[in-house]
A and B are shown apart, each in its own frame.
Chain A
Amino acid sequence: MEILCIANLAKNFYLHNPGREIKSCRNISLKLEHGEFIGIAGLSGAGKSTILKCIYRSYLPTRGEIIYNSEAFGRIDLAAAAEREILYLRRHEIGYVSQFLNVMPRTTAKEHVMNALTDMGMDAGSAETDAKEMLAYFRLPENLWDIYPATFSGGERLRLNLAHAMVKRPRLLMLDEPTASLDGRTKILVRDMLRNLKGKDTGMIGIFHDIEFMKGVCDKIFNISEGAIVS
């Protein structure tokens, strides 16, 4: 059975000032299998991120169903699930990587990655081991681990983001341009990591500007234009 099945997803934004409705995506339907990687391509403003955010429920979908096959809850419609359930899924099953880093003040890089695991209920000792392993994998220099990421470069932040999202080995992972400012070598690492995750049955949906990279990891690529899948 597929891990994710989106049917007729639509998202409109109603702005009270100036009283206008903005249509973002309409009639999106897609299926994602376990271990499958779907890439989404399209121009800026085409509605790519909207789809990901609707799945993650940062946006409230206007219409449609997002059926996710959860380990804890079974088949669950993310568009209508209770907030408590979404919070649980975010902690345990669904990951989201963006190009922006969102870190608590005065939290070190290592603690940031560890928090993802301790929030799941892992003890601090094993969380630290896993966190270190992941930071090492993404080649974040060891002397940065106990530093607050506020001063990190763009590439360092991204690697930290990836480590944070992947350390808990999510079942469903959304990637919103996570490779935007990475050098070639790191991109290869990310690609290997994504392939590795695929091998572990993680379903992934990703947006990348780098078409070559996308072709290297994705099983399918959908083109989005004006909020609809065109190919």
Chain B
Amino acid sequence: MNANYNFAFLDEGSKREIRRAVLKAVAIPGYQVPFGSREIPIVRGWGTGGIQLTLSLIGPDDVLKVIDQGSDESVNAVNIKKFVGLCTDVRTTADTREATLIQTRHRIPEIPLSNRQILVLQVPIPEPLRIVEAREEVTKQMHAECDYAPIWLQLYESLVKYKKVTVASEYPCMVEGRYIMNPSPIPKFDNPKLHGAECLYLFGAGREKKIYAIPPYTRVVSLAFDDVPFERESFAGRRCRLCGSENTFLDEIFDAQTGEKVYQCSDTSYCREVRSRPKPQDQNLGRCPNPAGSKLPAPSYKKGSRGRVPLRGSGRSPEVREPVLSVKNLIVRYGEGCPACQENLEKNRCAVCKTVWAANDISLDVYPGEVLGIVGESGSGKTTLMRSLYFDFVPTSGSAVLRDYKDGQKNIWDTSAAERRMIKNKIMGMVYQNPVLGLRMDYSAASNIAEKIIAAGSRNAGQMTERAAELLEAVEIMTSRMSEAPKNFSGGMQQRVQISKALANNPALLLLDEVTTGLDLSVQAKVLDLIRKIKSMYGISILLVSHDLAVIRMLADRTVVMLDGKIVESGLTDQILEDPQHAYTQQLVHSLI
């Protein structure tokens, strides 16, 4: 050992910091613990996270093994071994069984590890949700709330597009039923080895400054739909050209001279061990002893409550007096407001303090099975109301209760993000005027519908596809196009996909914001017809915003008229249109062409 170095290079303070992070990571399996990643004389991204773990944990009695993609002899592995040797003098080995500490890049050895061994994995991107969400603060929140629907959607989308899950490495897994974890870029072949293993797995991401762990005997389940089981890469019919092993992870080697493809074990030390065994081969030779390396029973998903929600039938009693939605005194205000606001309003803006009252004391009820129309000019607060209900805006004050949420006892604006998501997914559906707001334009139409179903808890891909097909058929979109992305659809089709998405979980309340605006007449008729069918077939209550009075007359049972953030008149739709009371309504009706 070079006396100029501290033992294992890092100063003791740094080691302590890292060990503390390791302890926390072990205590919360799968949770990414941030740590003060140190400068190491290696470029970030070349394994600095793994090296820091190794240096913090290694002791004089340890035996170190370093592998890179299964190989003990690759440059990265050799250099790390030399570096650690330089500053610790610990023995290094290629023998997996002999090592006490193994640092690895992108593979887990074929031989199951024991309870006296630690496997340190180098991690480039620790965040499993990064592919679906770029913002760190959002992914943190998603983990905190177990909001994992987007990653499931990613898997479903590949089923829709390619009929199979195409993720080959960094295959996400659920750790102890709580955190979804990125197992680092190991091939999914190695994923089962994480489940119920005897050894401790530690993951270090130096650049991203995260450490996480899988302690021994932890339940680690690779994500899979109930009806589409997780599958490892298959090397059926192939064997290692050197040791003859089947059932190990094989590298494909292409000989450009002969055009021949050959296969050999990616785990070089395992391959060597097999070859050194005495011949004739015993029964188990060439077979990986227990690839899952597990004493726990194989993981399985809970079955039961999840699954398709049956269509809500018609015939919900019209006599039910209790409103589905009841909004009271909604105020959405931009500005502080002043005591003289209400007397000094110019339209919806206070002349004194310049506060804009986008929604100024709005109260309304929506009853079961009815369509409540909302009319009013641009800027009258229609969309403010709708988007407040769908939690896109935070209202200044006011309350809204839903019959189907806590029996109408809790203000939906006084809820946690997770509760809001539940309400949005199960009780309400929203169709925006602009389809971009309501759809994932790059995901297939089927996935757009599945997104809602996944969020509601289903993990059955077949049922999702069935339901998506049923809904798309109902909105007259050919099921042959369900694997296409809505960005390739016409405006009317996008709107209809939005409607079917909103209906995915049979909401009790549908919010429709100018759904027919900008559509040509025949498409408009299709959408209107669809809404009428939804109303009569499923008995869903609808809040319908439109500035098109013809649409309102066709669909709405009752109508409220909004002006400058207030409701100026409400009544039966035909009464509003034939016997308008307020000056603005009269002007509106007289403007009908």
Please, which residue of chain B has its CB at the minimum distance from the CB of A122? B315
| Chain B 355-381 per-residue mask, 1 if CB under 8 angstroms from chain A, else 0 | 000000000000100100000000000
User: Does B296 sit within 8 A of A, measured CB to CB?
Assistant: no
Alpha-carbon separation in the docked complex, A102 to B554 (Å): 8
Residues of A within 8 A of B557 (CB): 87
Do B572 and A86 have beta carbons less than 8 Å apart?
yes
Residues of A within 8 A of B574 (CB): 58
Please, which residue of chain A has its CB at the minimum distance from the CB of B529? A106
Residues of A within 8 A of B114 (CB): none
Alpha-carbon separation in the docked complex, A58 to B528 (Å): 23
- Of B191-199, B466-474, B580-588, the one contacting chain A is B580-588
Residues of B within 8 A of A83 (CB): 558, 571-572
Residues of A within 8 A of B554 (CB): 104-105
Interface residues of A in 75-119 (CB under 8 A from B): 83-84, 86-88, 91, 102, 104-107, 115, 118-119
User: Does B279 sit within 8 A of A, measured CB to CB?
Assistant: no
User: Does B137 sit within 8 A of A, measured CB to CB?
Assistant: no
**Closest-CB distance, B527 to chain A (whole angstroms):** 10
Residues of A within 8 A of B558 (CB): 83, 87
Please, which residue of chain A has its CB at the minimum distance from the CB of B525? A105
Please, which residue of chain B has its CB at the minimum distance from the CB of A91? B318
User: Does A209 sit within 8 A of B, measured CB to CB?
Assistant: no
Do B367 and A17 have beta carbons less than 8 Å apart?
no
Please, which residue of chain A has its CB at the minimum distance from the CB of B315? A121
Do A115 and B572 have beta carbons less than 8 Å apart?
no
**Closest-CB distance, A128 to chain B (whole angstroms):** 14
Interface residues of B in 534-593 (CB under 8 A from A): 536, 553-554, 557-558, 571-572, 574-575, 578-579, 581-583, 586-587
Residues of B within 8 A of A115 (CB): 536
User: Does A34 sit within 8 A of B, measured CB to CB?
Assistant: no
Do A60 and B525 have beta carbons less than 8 Å apart?
no
Alpha-carbon separation in the docked complex, A88 to B524 (Å): 28
User: Does A195 sit within 8 A of B, measured CB to CB?
Assistant: no
Residues of A within 8 A of B581 (CB): 14, 60
| Chain B 503-537 per-residue mask, 1 if CB under 8 angstroms from chain A, else 0 | 00000000000000000000011101100100010
Residues of A within 8 A of B587 (CB): 16-17
Q: Which of B367, B529, B579, B586 contacts A16 (CB 8 A)?
A: B586
**Closest-CB distance, B575 to chain A (whole angstroms):** 6
Alpha-carbon separation in the docked complex, A86 to B318 (Å): 12
Do B321 and A84 have beta carbons less than 8 Å apart?
yes
**Closest-CB distance, A95 to chain B (whole angstroms):** 14
Do B578 and A53 have beta carbons less than 8 Å apart?
yes
Do A17 and B315 have beta carbons less than 8 Å apart?
no
Alpha-carbon separation in the docked complex, A15 to B524 (Å): 33
Alpha-carbon separation in the docked complex, A119 to B369 (Å): 10
Do A58 and B572 have beta carbons less than 8 Å apart?
yes
**Closest-CB distance, A229 to chain B (whole angstroms):** 22
Residues of A within 8 A of B578 (CB): 53, 58-59
Do B536 and A119 have beta carbons less than 8 Å apart?
yes
Alpha-carbon separation in the docked complex, A83 to B314 (Å): 22
Known contacts A86-B572, A105-B554, A118-B536; A16/B528 CB under 8 A: no
Do B528 and A104 have beta carbons less than 8 Å apart?
yes
Q: Which of B370, B572, B582 contacts A57 (CB 8 A)?
A: B572
Residues of B within 8 A of A15 (CB): 586
**Closest-CB distance, A53 to chain B (whole angstroms):** 7
User: Does B255 sit within 8 A of A, measured CB to CB?
Assistant: no
Residues of A within 8 A of B586 (CB): 15-17
Residues of A within 8 A of B315 (CB): 121
User: Does A13 sit within 8 A of B, measured CB to CB?
Assistant: yes
User: Does B319 sit within 8 A of A, measured CB to CB?
Assistant: yes
| Chain A 39-66 per-residue mask, 1 if CB under 8 angstroms from chain B, else 0 | 0000000000000010001111000000
Do B572 and A104 have beta carbons less than 8 Å apart?
no
Please, which residue of chain A has its CB at the minimum distance from the CB of B585? A16
**Closest-CB distance, A139 to chain B (whole angstroms):** 28
Known contacts A17-B586, A60-B581; A104/B536 CB under 8 A: no
Please, which residue of chain B has its CB at the minimum distance from the CB of A13? B579
Do A87 and B575 have beta carbons less than 8 Å apart?
no
Alpha-carbon separation in the docked complex, A86 to B524 (Å): 29
Please, which residue of chain A has its CB at the minimum distance from the CB of B574? A58
**Closest-CB distance, A221 to chain B (whole angstroms):** 26
Please, which residue of chain A has its CB at the minimum distance from the CB of B319? A88
Residues of A within 8 A of B370 (CB): 84, 87
Residues of A within 8 A of B575 (CB): 57-60
Residues of A within 8 A of B583 (CB): 16-17
Known contacts A57-B575, A59-B579, A87-B572; A104/B318 CB under 8 A: no
Please, which residue of chain B has its CB at the minimum distance from the CB of A88? B318
**Closest-CB distance, A35 to chain B (whole angstroms):** 27
**Closest-CB distance, A111 to chain B (whole angstroms):** 10
Please, which residue of chain B has its CB at the minimum distance from the CB of A121? B315
**Closest-CB distance, A202 to chain B (whole angstroms):** 21
Known contacts A58-B575, A106-B525; A121/B536 CB under 8 A: no
**Closest-CB distance, B182 to chain A (whole angstroms):** 50
Please, which residue of chain A has its CB at the minimum distance from the CB of B526? A106
Please, which residue of chain A has its CB at the minimum distance from the CB of B581? A60
Alpha-carbon separation in the docked complex, A17 to B585 (Å): 11
Residues of A within 8 A of B528 (CB): 104-106
Residues of B within 8 A of A53 (CB): 578-579
Chain A CB within 10 Å, residue with most, of B532, B558, B571, B572:
B572
**Closest-CB distance, B553 to chain A (whole angstroms):** 8
Please, which residue of chain B has its CB at the minimum distance from the CB of A61? B579
Residues of B within 8 A of A121 (CB): 314-315, 318
Q: List 22 A-B contacts (CB under 8 A).
A: A16-B586, A17-B583, A17-B586, A59-B579, A60-B581, A72-B319, A83-B558, A84-B321, A84-B367, A87-B318, A87-B370, A87-B557, A87-B558, A88-B319, A104-B528, A104-B554, A106-B526, A106-B529, A107-B529, A115-B536, A118-B314, A121-B318
- A105-B525, A121-B315 are known; give 18 further A-B pairs, CB within 8 A: A16-B582, A16-B583, A53-B578, A57-B572, A58-B575, A58-B578, A58-B579, A59-B579, A60-B579, A60-B581, A84-B370, A87-B572, A88-B318, A88-B319, A91-B318, A104-B528, A106-B525, A106-B529
The 7 closest A-B pairs by CB, nearest first: A16-B583, A105-B525, A59-B579, A106-B529, A58-B574, A58-B578, A106-B525
Chain A: residues with CB nearer than 8 A to chain B? Answer: 13-17, 53, 57-60, 72, 83-84, 86-88, 91, 102, 104-107, 115, 118-119, 121
